Amino acid sequence: MERIIKATENAFSPEANFINETIFHNANGYLGIRGALSEGTPEGCPSMRGIYLNGFYDIIPMPQAENLCHFVNEKETMLNVADTMTIRLFIDGEPLNMAKGKVLSHTRTLDMDRGITKRELTWENESGKQIELIETRMASFKEPSLFTMEYSARALNFNGQVEIKSYHITDVRNFSDPSDPRLASESRKNMYLLSLEKTDGCSVSVSETSVSGLRMCAAVSEETDFSGCGGNGIGDLLVGESEGVFSLRSDLKKNGRVTLRKYIVYTDSVRETDVKTAALSKMKAVRSHGLDFYYRAQEAFLKDFWNRSSLEVEGDDALNKATLFNMYVLLQSAPRDRFCSIAAKGLSGEGYEGHYFWDAETFVLPFFTMTQPEIAKAVLNYRYATLDKARENAALLGHKKGALFPWRTIGGRECSGYFVSGTAAYHIDADIAYAVVKYYQTTGDLDFIEEKGEEILLETARLFLDTGFFDRDGHFVINDVTGPDEYTCMVNNNYYTNCAAKFNLSWAVRLFRILENNGREKKVREKLKLSESELSEMEKASAAMLLLYDERLGINPQDDSFLQKPVWDFENTPAENYPLLLHYHPLNLYRYQVCKQADTVLSYFLYENEQSEEVMKRSFRYYEKITTHDSSLSTCIFSIVASRLGFKEEAYRYFGDSARMDLENLHHNSTFGAHTANMGGCYMAIVNGFARVRIDENGFSVSPELPDSWRKLTFHQVYRGSLLSLSADHEGTKVELLEGPDTEITVYGQKQRLSKGQCVYCKKV
């Protein structure tokens, strides 16, 4: 199966270039490099030229007009760091410019098996001289600090001089757009150069952020290959005050070729004590191995990745390719250490300023939990590393106990300036708790629960105990919070939040009892000074949680007041006024029944046992009519729930929108970065929706119901250390245990015991 995405154009298109910067970005979980043209974009062409380090940020002022007690007035922002992707080509002194001369052919390729992007350009200058350019980029999974470029130029119809200039530019800024709340509102200088020098044949820069005091180092080393030039060549490095330039000059004969290879290493003080020493040490190791070594390592890494997370849909090649692209971008976004998480745009752009939201745990983590659990654990380790800051955040908001994780953050502090739809979204605590529980249920990793997971569960459960209270009727209620739907804020008894809090409270106690039964509860009991009465109170609150139900409509209201509001006038809302958040004041939206995204419907996926199927069906139909799907998190959830409720046509329609969102720019903002949460949701729509995989306290179960147009669905899953291969068609499902210990699963309600190499086939019932 070919895992390749291609874009070909016979003329330069600024609009296509902007979206292609996202699609053809390179990233490895630590480094992210936009797919911007090496030579730069022509004047007036939109571009978000950027290189990012996951978890590296500065602190930006965010002044409040009325600065009330403990309002957030500064935020962390992911930074665009030193530009080392710039390479410029000159033919007899004339620069390559995509807006001048003729673009005879231009193809960009993302090879998801080799882990590279490739650009192939045939260009004719205004003098009629034609040159072929082949450029290969890679962000290494073997060495996460390493980005490489291979740049090769061939003279097609002339003899002349070609010059290639490779840059190391330290004076860079972030992208900004004051008209869009999903981007930074202004571009400011956030980093200051401390040193730039030539060391061991490299240009090496060290810069420091203006407020956070973090440092980063970029080391750049070039090598040349004149073997195919048909002439001669020289190369030299010059380092100035703010940039380094390596110049390669060669006299090319017709069909002669010259090649530049560029090695770039980034380090930061979040992870390293001495960023310069670390960068030079890594560069020495990189150069000793050579580029071919890292190409081979990249292929080996991805071979293992695709083996563990293999997925193929037979019957819709375009949709299958879109799904594989989504999975690959998720891998590019995923961290390998406790210093960072998964941003809303991954490492593909500056949308949402590199912040981590609830998206990471609720939408992205399930993919890794079910295929690469070590990555899921890294994300949960990050949350544990910021738990003390979450405790501080809770205290600032007046809570006597517990921890409240920030709505948006990088380093662990709250970065949401609009608390009504940010900090008030207390469900993020339960979302993280849910991810901890699902990680345990999938892996059986009790060591993690003992060391970190149970502490997260108990501190988030404490937060809900401190937030809610028992009303006069004995219900446990939670007031003045915001659920997932950001068009309805600061409400009482948001259905989703109450469901999530109930799960959080219940599993905090259940996992503590599991630790207790294994004699492993002492550490967390002593550290948190946990009493039996507190555990009892958590159980009581969970059992008494108010889950709203409207007798007249037979549905679950989104909150106490939701059904009292008039329905938004969808019929007379112009198409150009979507998304509504960009055209209507929040107070206007809050006073109507209109949903930005799945809210109560999301609870039916995550907490499906709380309601009967009939109630969920009626509620689904109700919310379907009033949900705009202005959020990229919405259609994938509607697909999953529709699939589980037996609404096959709707499930497939919603899924198609989700799968193709970035490749076809359906939300018209993929230029600012990929929608990583939706990509995770797309995977869940297949595996948890159409394949109906469930992993809970009862184990692993699967009962596929495929869309009519699909012939077969094949995918791999990791469960309790075992690698399973599942293949479903319209008649039944075959399951094989490829690796790992014997395991038991349930297929169409039938228990099956599997040993390595054993295969079972179950007919659909």
Active-site residues: which are they?
A: 486
Close Cβ partners of 309 (under 8 Å, ≥ 6 residues apart): 327, 367, 371, 372, 716
Helices (H), 269-426: 275-289, 291-309, 317-333, 359, 365-371, 373-385, 387-396
- How far from chain centre, in Å, is Cα 255? 43
Which residues on adjacent β-strands are paired with residue 254? none
Spell out the residues 6+ positions from residue 595 whose beta carbon is closer than 8 angstroms to its own.
485, 487, 488, 558, 623, 626, 627, 628
CA neighbor of 673 nearest in space, from 216, 355, 440: 355
Amino acid at 748: Y
Strand (E) positions, 483-613?
none
Q: How far is CA 451 from CA 155, 445, 510, 729, in A?
A: 61, 10, 16, 42
Per DSSP, 43 falls in state T
Tokens for 749?
Answer: 């309600």
b/e map of 461-475 (b: 16 or more CB within 10 Å)? bbbbbbbbeeeeeeb
In this structure, which long-range contacts are made by residues 404-410, counting pairs with CB atoms below 8 Å and at least 24 apart in sequence? 404/428, 404/429, 404/463, 405/429, 405/432, 405/460, 407/357, 407/358, 408/352, 408/355, 408/356, 408/357, 409/76, 409/355, 409/356, 410/55, 410/57, 410/76, 410/77, 410/78, 410/340, 410/354, 410/355, 410/356
DSSP code per residue over 694-757:
EEETTEEEE-----TT-SEEEEEEEETTEEEEEEE-SSEEEEEEEESS-EEEEETTEEEEE-TT
CA distances from 520 to 402, 526, 528 (A): 22, 12, 14
Q: Which residues pair with 51 in a beta bridge?
A: 33
Q: Which of 534, 395, 402, 381 is nearest to 457 (CA)?
A: 402
Those residues with Cβ within 8 angstroms of residue 705's Cβ, 6 or more apart along the chain or in another chain: 643, 646, 648, 690, 692, 764
The CA dihedral of 616, 619, 623, 629, to the nearest 10 degrees, is 0
State which amino acid sits at residue 544.
A
Residue 521 to residue 524: CA distance in whole angstroms:
6
Phi, psi (rounded to 5 degrees) for 684: -65, -35
DSSP state of 595: B
Tokens found for residue 119: 């650009």
Per the document, the length of the chain is 765
What is the full DSSP assignment across 51-97?
EEETT-EEEEE---SS--TT---EEEEEPP--B---EEEEETTEEP-
Amino acid letter, residue 88: R
91 close to 272: Cβ distance less than 8 angstroms: no
